[in-house]
Amino acid sequence: MAAVYMTKEGQQKKLDELNHLENVERPRIIQQIADARDKGDLSENAEYDAAKEEQGMIESKIAELKTLLANVRIIDESKVDTSSVQLLTTVTIKNVKNGATMKYTIVTENEANLKEHKISSATPIAKGLIGKKKGEIAEISAPNGKMEFEIVDITME
């Protein structure tokens, strides 16, 4: 697997998720399997089958997280230049057509979370914003046509 770039915060979230899976979910599902096994005939035990299936999904997610974390490279946020939009910068944009403003932080795919206003650098909007400077207009291709956004501010948050 290639290097996976993340912030220290993003790495910590993945470590916390791995810890929860290994120390909470794994023991819980092992107990469910043991309880189902105690009920007798496994060939017709739906609880056992469901628990084994869930165990497989948990173990798969644990393996995936371990592989991801083994390849993490931390991005040094102190070296990020805010003179233009780039990875880890927070950009405030204004829709030229309707004046609506939005604020997004450009992050790696692994850290994207729209609820936290963190968008992946691989998204069309981020691709259209990256490299632009304050005051410039970014033209973004959207499903309903081209949209124009003015870069209002670029910061590190």
Q: What is the mean pLDDT of residues 53-71?
A: 93
| Neighbouring residues of 111: CB distance < 8 A, sequence distance ≥ 6 | 6, 7, 9, 10, 13, 118, 120
Determine which of 17-21, 76-80, 109-113 has the lowest per-residue pLDDT on average.
76-80
pLDDT at 154 over 80: yes
CATH fit for domain 77-155, picks 2.40.50.140, 3.90.25.10, 3.10.50.30, 3.40.50.300:
3.10.50.30
Domain 4-74, CATH among 3.90.1560.10, 1.10.3470.10, 3.40.50.1820, 1.10.287.180:
1.10.287.180
The three-point CA angle 140-144-92 to 5° equals: 35
This prediction has a pTM of 0.67
Long-range contacts of 78-82 (CB under 8 A, 24+ apart): 80/156, 82/154, 82/155, 82/156
The H or E element spanning position 95 is strand 90-95
pLDDT in the model for residue 30: 93
When pLDDT is averaged across residues 114-130 and rounded to a whole number, the result is 91
Q: Given pLDDT bands bounded at 50, 70 and 90, which one contains residue 42?
A: low
**59 falls in which pLDDT band (50, 70, 90)?**
very high
Q: How many residues does the chain have?
A: 157
| Residue ranges per structural domain of the chain | 4-74, 77-155
> Residue 146 forms beta bridges with which residues?
141
Extract the tokens encoding 112.
């994207």
Looking at the predicted structure, is the pLDDT value of residue 43 above 80? no
Task: Please report the pLDDT score of residue 110 as a whole number.
Answer: 82
Provide the pLDDT for residue 145: 83
